[in-house]
Amino acid sequence: MLIDEKKNIVPNHEQMIYMPVHDCITKYNIYLLYPHRPKHLSVNYSIRIDLFDKSTLDYWTSWLLPIPFQFLPVNRISTQLIIPELRENKLCMSSCGEHGQCMKYTNMNNSVFCRCDQGYTGSFCNITHQCQCSNDSFCLAPSICVCPLKKFGSRCYLKRSICQSMNNPCQHNGLCIAIDDRINLHGFICFCKETYQGERCQYKSTQIDISIDETILTISSSFILHYIIAFDRSSKHERITTQKKIAFGYNTMTIYVQQPFNILFIQIPDGNYYLAVLRERYIPSEYIHTQVLSKNRCYPVLHLFNDTFRQYEYLRRVKYYPLLCRQDPQLMCFYDEYFMCICDSDRFSNCFQFNNTMKYDCSGKNLCYNDGRCFLNNETCSTTFICVCNECYYGGQCQFSTKDFIFSLDPILGYHIKPSISVHQQPFIVKFSIIITTIMLILELIMGS
């Protein structure tokens, strides 16, 4: 939307629905018209972009784009917007009255604006206006209504029949999201539960049960999973990363995968890589049971060469990679500074680009607390960030600590309690604690009465 020098919102604006999973790296062409034609040369305008969470209508962040050549009748501006992983909370000290909040722009920290409550507008949110939006929408300005998921129109009074609960085309409780009404009134996208996939969530996700060797579990119970999607020779392999933690007392984890993949590596944080799954072609809704043993480890290539080969220059050393798989019939994979190589059934090395020196700082914006390591789930189009916490810390951003419970049994017993299992199947220490607690409670009730 356009704003003038007094930060008043111009009626002409554009709205769009952006879904990171579906619309990543999509280019949009937006046309904004000046309120007067020809444009008044005495008035300067800028472009303000506000982002809202469509499901809750919560405000997320804003960008400011200056228009460089105000004297021209037409300007073409190109920009790339990077959506922050968390809601922006960049407050400032400027006064915005009782009905506004001073905010900073994501891309220009030196520029501030007043974000007004519904029904108020102006530079300092001191001008009231009559809001004509529906009650379940957000009234951003007299002429701008932000609609909830299942409604559309200039005032958000029109309902989308395609995603109504009675006619939900998404199966297995999938979330139906209508496509931008400017493009298609009957189009929709289904966001499926973890265990289902497909255009309408009609297929089961690939289920992988992974058993971890006890010698590996003694090092860490938290693992980073790297899914590799192999394309043709002209395209770079895609890498998707997630995290999984095995509960105390277990050695197996179950994961559900919705996207096609060919290779799965399991990594101990700041440690070794292990080859878990390898398949040439993707089989939808497949069930996979695999074991990760010490022999599945991917070794650094310098550990496999002798001193003579280690002294070679990189390009000369790479020529001998095929020999490594033939010399050691038990070797499954190895890696260097740039590549990960897998030994195929013919004992040839199949190598692809793999960044094993990736910095866990979310591209320089570490969102994890207490020295937690932050990484994005996809190198090309990330949709979320993941924090790998140090010992004694937990939470989505490693914001919680168990250090305050040093004299409490809670953190000790918590690891022994097995979820989704009846009491009589719990470990002895859990059942013993329940008995002692029950006896103490009964005695307290008797003594207290």
| Residue segments in the chain with a per-residue pLDDT below the cut of 70 | 180-185, 232-234, 404-420, 449
Question: Contact 192/170 with Cβ under 8 angstroms?
Answer: yes
Q: Give the span between the Cα atoms of 40 and 38, in whole angstroms.
A: 6
Q: Give the span between the Cα atoms of 239 and 235, in whole angstroms.
A: 12
Going by their DSSP bridges, the two strands 333-335 and 238-245 should be labelled as unpaired
Tokens 């168990």 correspond to 402
Q: Quick one: which of 293, 252, 248, 291 has its CA closest to 272?
A: 293
Look at residue 226 in the predicted model and tell me its pLDDT.
93
Look at residue 410 in the predicted model and tell me its pLDDT.
61
Q: Give the span between the Cα atoms of 446 and 442, in whole angstroms.
A: 6
Q: Give the span between the Cα atoms of 131 and 250, in whole angstroms.
A: 57
Tokens 């140090």 correspond to 390
Look at residue 287 in the predicted model and tell me its pLDDT.
95
Look at residue 47 in the predicted model and tell me its pLDDT.
94
What φ, ψ does residue 341 adopt, rounded to 5°? -120, 140
Q: Is the peptide bond before 38 cis (omega within 30 degrees of 0)?
A: yes
Tokens 């690939």 correspond to 206
Q: Within 13 Å, how many C-alpha atoms sit on residue 396's CB side?
A: 4
Buried b (16+ CB within 10 A) or exposed e, 170-208: bebebebbbbebeeeeeebbbebbeebbbebbebbbbeb
Q: Give the span between the Cα atoms of 330 and 275, in whole angstroms.
A: 13
Q: Give the span between the Cα atoms of 203 and 342, in whole angstroms.
A: 30
Q: Give the span between the Cα atoms of 115 and 227, in whole angstroms.
A: 42
Q: Give the span between the Cα atoms of 348 and 321, in whole angstroms.
A: 9
Provide the residue type at 348 as one letter.
F
Q: Give the span between the Cα atoms of 129 and 53, in whole angstroms.
A: 24
Q: Quick one: which of 54, 9, 55 has its CA closest to 32?
A: 9
Q: Give the span between the Cα atoms of 54 and 327, in whole angstroms.
A: 57
Q: Give the span between the Cα atoms of 315 and 318, in whole angstroms.
A: 5
Q: Hey, is 85 helix, strand or coil?
A: coil
Q: Quick one: which of 329, 371, 321, 379 has its CA closest to 350?
A: 321
Going by their DSSP bridges, the two strands 138-141 and 144-146 should be labelled as antiparallel
Q: Give the span between the Cα atoms of 249 and 159, in whole angstroms.
A: 50
Tens of pLDDT along 186-239?
778 898 999 999 999 999 999 999 999 998 888 888 899 999 988 766 677 888
Q: Give the span between the Cα atoms of 263 and 261, in whole angstroms.
A: 6
Question: Contact 96/123 with Cβ under 8 angstroms?
Answer: no
Q: Give the span between the Cα atoms of 69 and 91, in whole angstroms.
A: 30
327 DSSP assignment: H
Look at residue 445 in the predicted model and tell me its pLDDT.
84
Asked whether the whole model's pTM tops 0.85, one would answer no
Burial class (CB in 10 A: 0-12, 13-18, 19+), 403: exposed
Question: Contact 169/188 with Cβ under 8 angstroms?
Answer: yes
Tokens 């519904």 correspond to 118
Look at residue 418 in the predicted model and tell me its pLDDT.
67
Q: Is the peptide bond before 284 cis (omega within 30 degrees of 0)?
A: no
Tokens of 290: 């695999």
